[in-house]
Structure 1
Amino acid sequence: MFVKSDATTRGRSLQNQRVTSDLVIIGGGLSGTCCAITAARAGLQVVLIQDRPVLGGNASSEVRLWVLGATSHMNNNNRWSREGGVIDELLVENLYRNPEGNPHIFDTIILDAVVNEPNITLLLNTALIDIEKDAPDRIRGVRAFCSQNSTMYTVWAPLFCDASGDGILSFLAGAAFRMGAEARSEFDEKFAPSKEYGELLGHSLYFYSKDTGKPVHFIPPSYALKDITQIPRYQQFKSNEYGCNLWWIEYGGRLDTVHDTEKIKWELWRIVYGIWDYIKNSGQFPEAETLTLEWVGMLPGKRESRRFEGPYMLCQQDIVEQREYKDVVGFGGWSIDLHPADGIFSERPGCNQWHARGVYQIPYRCLYSKDIQNLFFAGRSISASHVAFGSTRVMATCAHSAQAVGMAAALCRREGLLPAQIGEEARIQHLQRELLRRGQYLPGLALHDPSDLVAQGTICASSSLVLAEIEKGGPVEPLTRSRAQMLPVTSGTLPTVSFLLDVSHATTLQVEVRTSDRPSNYTPDVVLEKHAIELAEGKKQRVAIPCSTHIDTNRYVFFCLLQNEHIAVHTSLQRFTGLLALEQRDVQSPPEDIGIEAFEFWCPSRRPHGQNLAITIEPPLTNFQARLIANGNDRPTVEANAWVAALEDPQPCLSVRWETQQRIAQVDLVFDTDSDHAMESVLKTHAERAIPFCVKHYRLRDQQGKILEERDHNYQTRNTIVFDTPISTDQLSLEVLASHGNVPAAVFAMRCYEQPWVVSM
């Protein structure tokens, strides 16, 4: 195309494109992305505006921080706590495509998920620059500029979501916000400072190195840090560490983390190149001779800036006391994780991480503005105190709550409402039901869906697991740490559990039978029984723990073998949905009077380790029955909540029968992708591409045996089947032909609907 334009004294205008939508989302980090996908799948026309060339924010290849939330690297007591819904879908997909943790591959997975949604208009490299209001408390539209195509976009919508991190949309709209720490007196938070102050968590910037196999010289740039001893912990650097393992390369907590970001970035560059100069040229790291600096971040990952005020502000007590709310739409479980304002230049530890005994709820009232009628918050800027923000700020937690925003926006449009009106009791229950349908875990809530036909039928199975023994055959593990087997026990007298032990010298084995302070927690802090058992020297001794305790509700019980250097315990290669073996890792011992509790951490090891203990159980556990697929829980809670087939069943099959013909347009299936596994998106590698418990190959048949659907390479948690033409049948049967591991077939849920409510996945 040839263009010739004469000079003009009037100047020229940018190309302007006008777009109308149902929901505008500012910010394409994981929060904005998950919000957009959720809203689009619910039928909304969504415009997603992202000022970077890729999606994912701090999880993208531009920053390269791993995605984490309540699972906390599996280093706390939050069992089966990986966030559900879209963020789970993305992480499971990343595990399958990218178990090596390549950040560029994760970029493609996030982009795939967005561009495959026809209801999303994605504007990359496009920055919000202005807004338009049609009332003092209402946004009408936004203006955003794309530097790559020199186009100004004007986007109008009835609803807006600020997922920008710094809260640029909310700031321009005039919504109330805070920066810094509130005084202890405002929310009665004992971990808060006695006086309010403006110190913040800083930014971080990472680097990657690689081994070239030949000597590599490094000449630092002029701006590199010259004196490495300015970093008090400089002796902790290692030549083989890179990426977000160096999260503590942090700076900016005493600056304005919004307007001073460029200044902070330059200081972080100075630090990074100074660290690499030290590693390459100090002579302290001879093993680094062949290493080269492969990548340095071009922009820092932000932790903290503005927090905006909703009708409720989450505080420390919500987290520590695990307070429950009628309008729960999200949850968290990361520690209260606050850092010294001086970051890498501080003499203090890089962080103070204090955990609750379990996960906590996030209420809907934290996710929309108290000032601007049509404005939602998503991501790290939601309504929370500085102390609570120390936990809510991590990406998986942010993304999970953002999904609630996407669905709330859909209900607003469907019913002609504003965000605050969704918070009314009947409507919040509707929102919760829609979230649970889509796999979003809400602690304390089960899905009670009047539209689900399965709950109205008779459920049966070819077999159900009766667990009398977990067979020996795994490694024999020394009791250098205390170990425990978690078992889902029904109300009544506890079973007798027997362990298989090797004893090198005559000794006394201390056994404790424990449970948690509340049924839904997994911190083994309540001792039910203690046993001291005298053991003679000898191998493969079967040791029984007779129990007399009666429990009045279903819950997990921990059968704990306490540390003893003379004993080794036999483990098993058998794995089962809802069962875990743990080891005692650490003890949380907070200072007095900061409002944090002391307790032990009992954690599983990652596969291929973390084998169950070889035990026998009398009477056997029988709570793996087919009826559990209709109890509304899609992961273990107070019990396994899954149908699990018998080990010896050659053709596991789950069936639902009705007395009359049913019209079925949609079938939802929920499989076990191990929500206890922390699926870090980058850097950490994973032992498997697909979770061994997950059903890989299945067939769905009607009462005549006709195959309605067959999938032979599933690895996702949720499968939704929408029939082109609704079927009519009085029976549906799910045949499980294979799982990804040598484990018995397991299904958390099967649901059937007369009308489809979601696009096929």
Structure 2
Amino acid sequence: MIVENFSEEVRGLKKVSIDAGLVVVGGGMAGACAAISAAREGVKVVLVQDRPVLGGNASSEVRLWILGATSHLGNNNRWSREGGVIDEILVENLYRNKEGNAIILDTIILEKVRSEPNITLLLNTAAYEVEKSSPTKISKVWAFCSQNLTRYELNAPLFCDASGDGVVGFAAGAAFRMGAESKDEFGELFAPDAKYGELLGHTIYFYTKDIGKPVDYVAPDFALKDITKLPKYRSINVKDHGCKLWWVEYGGSLDTIHDSEEIKWELWKIVYGIWDHIKNSGEFPEAENLTLEWVGTIPGKRESRRFEGDYMLTQRDVVDRVDFKDAVSFGGWAIDLHPEDGVYNELPSCTQWHGKGVYQIPYRCFYSRNIENLFLAGRIISASHVAFGTTRVMATCGHGGMVIGHAAAQCLEEGVSPRDLLESERMKRLQNSLNKEGQSIPKFELEGDGDLAQAATLSCSSVDALASLPASDSEFISLENASGQWLPLKAGVQYRFTVQALSKGESEMQVKLRAAEEGDHYTPDRLIESKTVTLVDGEQTVEVVFENALDRDQYALLSFHGDASVKLRASDVRQTGTVSAFNVGNAAVSNNGVQSPPEGIGIDSFEFWRPLRRPDGLNIAFEVSPALEAFGVDLLKNGYTRPNGRSNAWVASLADESPELTLNWSDKITVKEIYLYFDSDFDHPMESSQFGHPERVVPFTVNNYQVVDGEGNVLQTVKGNHQTINRIVLPEAIETDRLVVKLEHPSETVPAALFGLRCYSE
């Protein structure tokens, strides 16, 4: 028992002081990825989160799906899902939670953080004060936990603000912006005018449940009484709930930081008013058995402060896909801006304009230009309001969070500040460190990092010289929409393609060979050659010979254009490094098949060619001569771990019953770590919640394999792998002059493949 007598003095709360190498404030996807990656690099991390769970807008408190460059499969960004820690989380979520339950996602992120011994996690703990050792350097952050009534004094040489509203950066005096820049400041033609507004608002979602019997509903007195005040009230329906109600947005015309509670009450008013309308207007008899299962208690916030780094990303950088020497991350979501009055505005709920491909994000956007030891993560990174429209989404934020983790580790090891990593050798080390863990920075290969495999002679039991994708007995692809196949082709080669077409009556079909004007994206804006084929009634073999050839090795789109009377034979075989794509729209991301922006906003016009989600999206069956020599074993050493203008993959032949990959060294080497980079389908968005997915394990991923040394000793046996990167850390380093990787094909219709293999002595 504790008994304390009266005290004339004010009692102080319990105080705990923690010393760390990096303090991360904010436990959304950016902060979680920053903390995990730093901890894995040996940094002692304190992760401060003011909510009871991690994940921010992706958590069960808000329930927004995680998305990024893949954009609901609604753009031309092939093989672009963000890599590294955010990929690991999404792949794990797919495996455990393909139905998209946000509560399960909570546990996965918590598990990832809790499993790192270098992380001290403080939940329900809000940072509220900063101390500085000099005008430009933070020395500590003070935080308070309402659950254990404890004040935390957090001391570190480095800090990361991933709080969303920039609480640390603001308190420390870092330069920031809030609102939209004028068109003139950065020459951004898409900058919004006063009518559109300067800030994106908040959203609260709700979920419903059918309980099998009638349910009455009496709305609270604060619910919106007149639903016609919402310009889009006619689009309200029973089927939409969760983040499909993203357009229920409000607050952009207010202070999105200090008015957040007011904004929340207005959103509750709207949500409960919508539900009252559904249940009691008489317009929705199908809602009789539905109950309101969940309503968010905190709004999902889109925009508030943006902090200034040594560089500010702009519209031109995104649209023109500008190259940066200090590129460390990438994005690819549309430039997605919303009218500030949100749900009360007559304008469309969003205006989304896509780029032709992914864009680089430079390291200079990830730290404050004023506070020398402050990293910036998440939606507060250094970007204009227009560029923020694409960088703000969670997969992009998580990808950038990994940058901070690796940069912090390098700063501590070298005894330098974040800005010092701009020096060329230091930057190359950072880029290598990130790419080793799957960051896949566009146009930056992993090289010069001590990989022992570079000195090995690689051989394999087979290589798929792709001569055909065999036709299915029963599957066809209709040309109601133009259909195509992305294929890695060689420069200077004239290709002959053969397909099986089924026509109802006589018709014509155009066959086009197109490629990207720039070889590292997948918008087919350059016509190589076009052929017109006359079809007769019934099924027939169609042969097309192209006289023109590519002037460089790159992916090209073989596309077929007809109408609903024509079908092509499909193939059941799915293979790493090739994907079908269709000229169809995706209303979820403002894709109508063709992007046709108005003049004068600085956005490109082009066609969309996108894959379809499995089980749809079968490949087009074809034969090609000469065969595509694009999947050789030497590609495993080129430093890329996904397609990036080339396939960058070794693919075994499906006819090879026991695929093997062998590394031989002329002298014995010492091996401690082995990295294997598998294909987890970087086209698949893997939305984290609500969406639902057709499988737990991506069909391209090798599930079972074994690693054996030169003496035949089994170093590792893996059954049931589903992850992109497998890091094999041996109990003790071994000496050997050979390693053999024995793989099993993922299935009878998917050959075994690898994007990379690397070996390290420590």
Same topology, TM > 0.5:
yes
Match of 2:590 in 1: none
Displacement of 1:9 after TM fit?
Answer: 1.6
User: Does residue 475 of structure 1 match 2:475?
Assistant: yes
Contact 2:95–2:697 (CA<8 Å) still a contact in 1? yes
Contact 1:232–1:345 (CA<8 Å) still a contact in 2? yes
Mapped to 2, the partners of 1:496 and 1:205 lie a distance apart of 54
User: Does residue 61 of structure 1 match 2:60?
Assistant: yes
Match of 1:579 in 2: 578
Contact 2:504–2:537 (CA<8 Å) still a contact in 1? yes
Mapped to 1, the partners of 2:372 and 2:747 lie a distance apart of 48
Match of 1:493 in 2: 493
Match of 1:645 in 2: 652
Contact 1:182–1:195 (CA<8 Å) still a contact in 2? no
Mapped to 1, the partners of 2:704 and 2:72 lie a distance apart of 30
What is the identity, as a one-letter code, of the residue corresponding to 2:216?
H
Moved more, 186-195 or 138-147: 186-195
User: Does residue 528 of structure 1 match 2:535?
Assistant: no
User: Does residue 670 of structure 1 match 2:677?
Assistant: yes
Match of 2:511 in 1: 511
What is the identity, as a one-letter code, of the residue corresponding to 1:571?
A
Cα deviation code 1:425-481 (max 9, x no counterpart): 221111001001111110111111341111101000000002111111152122110
What is the identity, as a one-letter code, of the residue corresponding to 2:520?
S
Contact 1:307–1:382 (CA<8 Å) still a contact in 2? yes
The structure-2 alpha-carbon separation of the partners of 1:741 and 1:53, relative to structure 1 and needing over 3 Å to count, comes to farther
**Stretches of 4+ aligned residues off by more than 4 angstroms:** 194-198
Displacement of 1:195 after TM fit?
Answer: 7.2
The structure-2 alpha-carbon separation of the partners of 1:137 and 1:168, relative to structure 1 and needing over 3 Å to count, comes to same
Contact 1:471–1:614 (CA<8 Å) still a contact in 2? yes
Write the mapping of 1:403-414 to structure 2, written as runs, cut at 5 A: 403-414=402-413
User: Does residue 253 of structure 1 match 2:252?
Assistant: yes
Moved more, 493-502 or 150-159: 493-502
- Correspondence for 2:746 among 739, 749, 759: 739
Mapped to 2, the partners of 1:308 and 1:648 lie a distance apart of 55
How many aligned positions are there? 753
Match of 2:661 in 1: 654
Mapped to 1, the partners of 2:652 and 2:744 lie a distance apart of 12
Displacement of 1:570 after TM fit?
Answer: 1.0
Contact 1:691–1:740 (CA<8 Å) still a contact in 2? no
Contact 1:487–1:558 (CA<8 Å) still a contact in 2? yes
Moved more, 421-430 or 375-384: 421-430
Mapped to 2, the partners of 1:308 and 1:521 lie a distance apart of 30
2:419 alignment partner, SS class:
helix
- Correspondence for 1:725 among 717, 727, 732: 732
User: Does residue 110 of structure 1 match 2:109?
Assistant: yes
Write the mapping of 1:233-632 to structure 2, written as runs, cut at 5 A: 233-473=232-472, 475-539=475-539, 541-585=540-584, 586-632=593-639
Mapped to 2, the partners of 1:537 and 1:335 lie a distance apart of 43
Mapped to 2, the partners of 1:694 and 1:138 lie a distance apart of 46
Mapped to 2, the partners of 1:511 and 1:672 lie a distance apart of 30
Cα deviation code 1:381-425 (max 9, x no counterpart): 000000000000000001101111111111100000001101122
What is the identity, as a one-letter code, of the residue corresponding to 1:697?
N
Contact 2:654–2:749 (CA<8 Å) still a contact in 1? no
Match of 1:188 in 2: 187
Displacement of 1:550 after TM fit?
Answer: 2.2
1:602 alignment partner, SS class:
coil
Match of 1:759 in 2: none
The structure-2 alpha-carbon separation of the partners of 1:74 and 1:296, relative to structure 1 and needing over 3 Å to count, comes to same
Cα deviation code 1:26-69 (max 9, x no counterpart): 00000000000010000000000000000000000000000000
Moved more, 186-195 or 34-43: 186-195
2:712 alignment partner, SS class:
coil
User: Does residue 74 of structure 1 match 2:81?
Assistant: no
Mapped to 2, the partners of 1:501 and 1:742 lie a distance apart of 22
1:565 alignment partner, SS class:
coil
Match of 2:713 in 1: 706
- Correspondence for 1:679 among 677, 680, 686: 686
Match of 1:749 in 2: 756
Displacement of 1:639 after TM fit?
Answer: 1.7
Displacement of 1:573 after TM fit?
Answer: 0.6
Contact 1:483–1:563 (CA<8 Å) still a contact in 2? no
Mapped to 2, the partners of 1:595 and 1:518 lie a distance apart of 19
Contact 1:182–1:196 (CA<8 Å) still a contact in 2? no
Mapped to 2, the partners of 1:688 and 1:494 lie a distance apart of 38
Displacement of 1:622 after TM fit?
Answer: 1.8
Cα deviation code 1:327-357 (max 9, x no counterpart): 0001100000000111001111110000010
Mapped to 2, the partners of 1:98 and 1:740 lie a distance apart of 22
1:603 alignment partner, SS class:
coil
2:268 alignment partner, SS class:
helix
The structure-2 alpha-carbon separation of the partners of 1:740 and 1:134, relative to structure 1 and needing over 3 Å to count, comes to farther
Displacement of 1:525 after TM fit?
Answer: 1.3
Moved more, 238-247 or 560-569: 560-569
Match of 2:30 in 1: 31
1:709 alignment partner, SS class:
strand
What is the identity, as a one-letter code, of the residue corresponding to 1:252?
G
What is the identity, as a one-letter code, of the residue corresponding to 2:43?
L
Mapped to 2, the partners of 1:290 and 1:52 lie a distance apart of 33
Mapped to 2, the partners of 1:719 and 1:560 lie a distance apart of 36
Displacement of 1:531 after TM fit?
Answer: 0.8
Mapped to 1, the partners of 2:749 and 2:349 lie a distance apart of 42
User: Does residue 173 of structure 1 match 2:180?
Assistant: no
Displacement of 1:566 after TM fit?
Answer: 2.1
The structure-2 alpha-carbon separation of the partners of 1:196 and 1:35, relative to structure 1 and needing over 3 Å to count, comes to farther
Match of 1:691 in 2: 698
Match of 2:589 in 1: none
What is the identity, as a one-letter code, of the residue corresponding to 1:651?
S
The structure-2 alpha-carbon separation of the partners of 1:608 and 1:294, relative to structure 1 and needing over 3 Å to count, comes to same
TM-score (norm 2): 0.98
Mapped to 2, the partners of 1:255 and 1:217 lie a distance apart of 35
Mapped to 2, the partners of 1:121 and 1:450 lie a distance apart of 30
Mapped to 1, the partners of 2:421 and 2:465 lie a distance apart of 45
Mapped to 1, the partners of 2:395 and 2:320 lie a distance apart of 21
Cα deviation code 1:569-603 (max 9, x no counterpart): 11011110011111101111111000001111011
Mapped to 2, the partners of 1:51 and 1:563 lie a distance apart of 56
2:273 alignment partner, SS class:
helix
TM-score (norm 1): 0.98
2:600 alignment partner, SS class:
coil
Displacement of 1:286 after TM fit?
Answer: 1.0
2:565 alignment partner, SS class:
strand
Mapped to 1, the partners of 2:212 and 2:645 lie a distance apart of 52
Mapped to 1, the partners of 2:521 and 2:142 lie a distance apart of 47
The structure-2 alpha-carbon separation of the partners of 1:219 and 1:741, relative to structure 1 and needing over 3 Å to count, comes to farther
Displacement of 1:283 after TM fit?
Answer: 1.0
Mapped to 2, the partners of 1:136 and 1:741 lie a distance apart of 64
What is the identity, as a one-letter code, of the residue corresponding to 2:387?
A
What is the identity, as a one-letter code, of the residue corresponding to 1:141?
K
What is the identity, as a one-letter code, of the residue corresponding to 1:742?
T
Displacement of 1:640 after TM fit?
Answer: 1.4
Match of 1:758 in 2: none
Mapped to 1, the partners of 2:745 and 2:604 lie a distance apart of 44
The structure-2 alpha-carbon separation of the partners of 1:450 and 1:168, relative to structure 1 and needing over 3 Å to count, comes to closer
Consecutive unaligned residues of structure 1, counting only runs of 5 or more, are 756-761
What is the identity, as a one-letter code, of the residue corresponding to 1:536?
V
